[in-house]
Amino acid sequence: MPPRNTAATNTPTAYGWVERAFHWSIALLIPTAIALGVIAHDAPFDTDAALARKAWLFSAHKTVGVVIFFIALARIVWALSQPRPAPLHPDRRAETFAAALVHWLLYGSLVLVPALGWAHHATAEGFAPIWWPFGQGLPFLPKNAELSATLATLHMVFERVMVAALLLHILGAVKHVVIDRDSTLARMWKGTDPGPLPASRGHLLAPGAALVVWAGALGIGLALAPAAATSTAPTPRLAAPATWTVEDGTLEITVTQLGTPVTGRFADWQAAIDFDPTPRADGTVGQVEVAVATGSLTLGSVSGQAIGPDFLAAASHPEARFVATLMPDGDGYVAEGTFSLRGAEMPLRLPFDLTLEGDRARAEGRVTLDRRSFGMGADYTDESNVGFGVTVTVDLTARRLP
């Protein structure tokens, strides 16, 4: 039998058991992560049980990805400290270059793919957490729907590069076993030492070629990333002329998925405001109408579900409206009127605080609705999976019109 390297460290001709353990651990984890991701992506979420299963699958996928990331970093650090066993056939320049390129692509992908996935998770409002006690965010990465969508696209594109490199790596191993009948695979499987080998100069072009591939993947990913949506908000139809115009503001909702609050934002909405702080004869101070494009909601990883037929049904009900009278209410104000959504119309009372500074005003209000009042999520009857309450938060700055 040929000699075997049983030491932890590499030699110039054979791999030690530490390098082999890193290799085969990652070899098992990569297909596991890919399978979990594919199954989770395609899994339905039309019932409470289905949603819980989908969330479990995504959490497992993310957790395995983070494990791969740290194992890959440890393997790279270890590899930098060890001699690299020489190729068995250094005279085959094209083959050894291809092998070196594939190895560089794999090393890079094992860090880039999970890192991009982790960054996507950190920037999204998500319901499937990573299973560990160290938090879900990352430093310097804010919650941002557009950034998260771009990172998700890059994660997908770089994953394709990793899979292509992995398949080439496997095909190369099969060639060495079936055609060459040499000890290339045996060196990584059981530490077989083939003995003295011819000197090899290596391929300095391989890392450069890998950088070109990654740059191409980056360009493709950025090109495929979804563009910012153009405004589709319907126009408010206020009976009286508007006396204020909205300069800036946010319209957010917070829901609870599997016990975790998830906050999302409508990108497209408009408000027409007629307001005077001096009460009129009937005690009112004005009126407001808000029109919202329901399909402009981003709600982290459940955006598609939120605007789908089970909930907002944006395709068949593209807008929501709130028409209300403004009245003083203690130290603040209240907008009291009618809210229409998904073909249902309900009375709504929205208290808000108002700060007036000359011709500018800031209004902040919050109200909690019950999704069942609008026929949303009829198949999600377990509040521990999808909460019944939906908190609507309004924060806007307006300027008085001349």
Provide the greatest CA pair distance for the chain: 103
pLDDT in tens, 28-40: 999 999 999 999 9
Supply the pLDDT for residue 145: 83
- CA–CA dist 237, 167 (Å, integer): 59
**pLDDT the model gives residue 202:** 60
Confidence of residue 314 (pLDDT cuts 50, 70, 90): very high
Backbone torsions φ then ψ of 309, nearest 5 degrees: -65, -25
Checking if the pLDDT of 177 tops 60, the result is yes
pLDDT digits (tens, 9 = 90+) for 321-365: 999 999 999 999 999 999 999 999 999 999 999 999 999 999 999
CB 188 within 8 A of CB 23: yes
Q: What is the pLDDT of residue 231?
A: 56
How many Cα atoms are found within 13 Å in the side-chain-facing hemisphere of 122? 17
Residue 387 CB-half CA count within 13 A: 17
Alpha carbon distance 323, 267 (integer Å): 20
What are the structural domains, with CATH classification, of the chain?
Answer: 17-224 (1.20.950), 244-400 (2.40.128.110)
Task: Provide φ and ψ at 147, rounded to 5°.
Answer: -60, -40
The pLDDT of residue 51 is: 86
pLDDT given for residue 119 in this prediction? 96
Task: Tell me how far CA of residue 393 lies from CA of 49, 92, 95, 366, in angstroms.
Answer: 29, 66, 61, 5
Query: How many Cα neighbours within 13 Å face the side chain of 133?
Result: 0
Q: What is the rounded distance in angstroms from the CA atom of residue 312 to the CA atom of residue 317?
A: 7
Which has more pLDDT, 127 or 377? 377
Closest CA to 74 of 131, 12, 14, 18: 18
Helix pair 48-80, 93-123: axis angle to 10 deg:
130
Digit-coded pLDDT (tens) for 80-122 = 999 989 888 888 888 989 999 999 999 999 999 999 999 999 9
pLDDT, one tens digit per residue, over 240-262 is 788 999 999 999 999 998 888 89
Q: Tell me the per-residue pLDDT of 260-272, one tens digit each, with 9 for 90 and over.
A: 889 999 999 999 9
Return the bridge partners of 321, or none. Answer: 291, 340
What single DSSP character describes residue 391? Answer: E
Has residue 208 got a pLDDT over 60? yes
The percentage of residues in the chain with a pLDDT greater than 90, rounded to a whole number, is: 74
